[in-house]
């Protein structure tokens, strides 16, 4: 069998998560209330009918909980979770190996599904609709099609680029859900919960300081918390007042809006080198030495959400808020 997938350890025996910071039930999952409620309704209805869940698509920026929600679906339904990713499924044989291994009611989680090759994607259509797989055997005059029946399964797919999915694939998902960035207030309980799990003495003030600089993303918030914990262990014997949290984050050069060095480099480029824009994405990419796809997927969404840049038909433009923010950072550096 192809090595295109790795079966998860999350089974009916309700074993613990690989990553202890991840919520272990929908009750523990903070934020994304609309998404969570719809998934709970779908799970409850499927259990009452004693059926497999309908296929669902989770989209949104990285680090917001798409993988965690897929894992919670398997726990809620008491089924196995099998995980793979779009780039790992290189040919139809890889997909066949994954699908034929699934048991009744299993959940197949495909991360970055927009990167599944088009030649493979077509095999998903019949698998998702009819739970069957048409496999071609041999070639030339001896070629023949064999239909393989599959157990009823649920495809839970995640993507950071929903626009790259084809219409036929997108229409086969019963439920399409988008996860949005968290506001700082919603991140505070997540950070405090993680601090308890990590046995870190972090108060609410410190959690708010981390939340303000976490770019609205729980994964980043948890990474910053781990850094703050390490910093306090080395500099303040494990004590974590707000000032220590701030000093730790300042060392990472993350400012009070959550912007890092690359974010500020992009803004500085727009304002100082191109008089505020408009500037094309490829020009920005070359000037800052970063891949254009990374700028568009990782840096731009947060800068736009903060109202620091805007997209126009002619290119990216810095806003008045961007000018004010850079001036504020420069004043702080001069103190």
Check 66, 213, 215, 229 and give the catalytic one.
66
Check 84, 159, 160, 244 and give the catalytic one.
160
Q: Is 91 a catalytic residue?
A: no
> Binding site for Mg(2+): what residues are annotated?
67
Check 106, 111, 255, 263 and give the catalytic one.
111
CA-to-CA dists, residue 214 to 34, 81, 109, 147, 335, angstroms: 22, 29, 27, 49, 25
> Binding site for DNA: what residues are annotated?
311, 316
Q: Is 219 a catalytic residue?
A: yes
Q: Is 160 a catalytic residue?
A: yes
Check 30, 36, 67, 75 and give the catalytic one.
67
Q: Is 312 a catalytic residue?
A: no
Where do the DSSP E strands lie in 140-193?
A: 144-149, 154-159, 175-178
Q: Is 111 a catalytic residue?
A: yes
> Binding site: what residues are annotated?
21-22, 63, 66-68, 129-131, 172, 182, 219, 311, 316
By 3-state DSSP, what share of the chain in percent is helix, strand and coil, each rounded to 5?
50, 15, 35
Nearest of 219, 315, 319, 308 to residue 259 by alpha carbon: 308
> Binding site for ATP: what residues are annotated?
21-22, 63, 66-68, 129-131, 172, 182, 219
CA-to-CA dists, residue 125 to 119, 121, 205, 228, 263, angstroms: 11, 7, 50, 47, 40
Nearest of 212, 118, 105 to residue 166 by alpha carbon: 118
Check 115, 208, 219, 265 and give the catalytic one.
219
Structure tokens, 238: 């494990």
Catalytic positions are: 66-67, 111, 160, 219
């Amino acid at each position: 069998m192809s090595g295109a997938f790795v079966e998860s350890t999350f089974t009916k025996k309700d074993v613990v998560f690989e990553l202890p910071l991840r919520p272990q039930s929908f009750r523990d999952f903070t934020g994304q209330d609309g998404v969570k409620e719809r998934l709970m309704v779908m799970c409850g209805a499927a259990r009452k009918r004693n059926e497999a869940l309908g296929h669902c698509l989770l989209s949104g920026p990285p680090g917001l909980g798409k993988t965690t929600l897929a894992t919670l679906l398997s726990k809620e339904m008491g089924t196995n979770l099998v995980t793979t990713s779009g780039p790992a499924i290189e040919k139809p044989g890889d997909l066949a190996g994954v699908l034929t291994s699934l048991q009744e009611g299993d959940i197949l989680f495909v991360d970055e599904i927009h990167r599944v090759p088009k030649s493979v994607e077509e095999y998903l259509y019949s698998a998702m609709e009819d739970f069957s797989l048409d496999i071609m055997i041999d070639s030339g005059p001896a070629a023949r099609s064999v239909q393989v029946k599959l157990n009823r399964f649920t495809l839970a797919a995640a993507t950071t680029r929903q626009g790259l999915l084809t219409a036929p694939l997108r229409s086969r998902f019963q439920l399409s859900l988008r996860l949005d960035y968290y506001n700082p207030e919603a991140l505070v309980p997540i950070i405090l919960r993680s601090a308890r799990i990590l046995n870190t003495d972090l108060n609410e003030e410190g959690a708010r300081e981390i939340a303000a600089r976490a770019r609205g993303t729980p994964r980043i918030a948890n990474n910053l918390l781990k850094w703050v914990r390490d910093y306090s262990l080395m500099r303040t014997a494990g004590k974590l007042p707000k000032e220590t949290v701030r000093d730790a984050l300042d060392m990472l050069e993350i400012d009070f809006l959550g912007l890092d060095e690359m974010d500020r480099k992009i803004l500085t480029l727009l304002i100082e080198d191109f008089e505020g824009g408009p500037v094309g994405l490829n020009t920005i990419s070359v000037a800052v030495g970063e891949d254009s796809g990374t700028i568009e997927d990782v840096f731009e969404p947060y800068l736009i959400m903060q109202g620091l840049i805007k997209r126009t038909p002619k290119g990216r433009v810095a806003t008045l808020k961007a000018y004010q923010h850079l001036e504020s950072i420069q004043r702080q550096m001069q103190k």
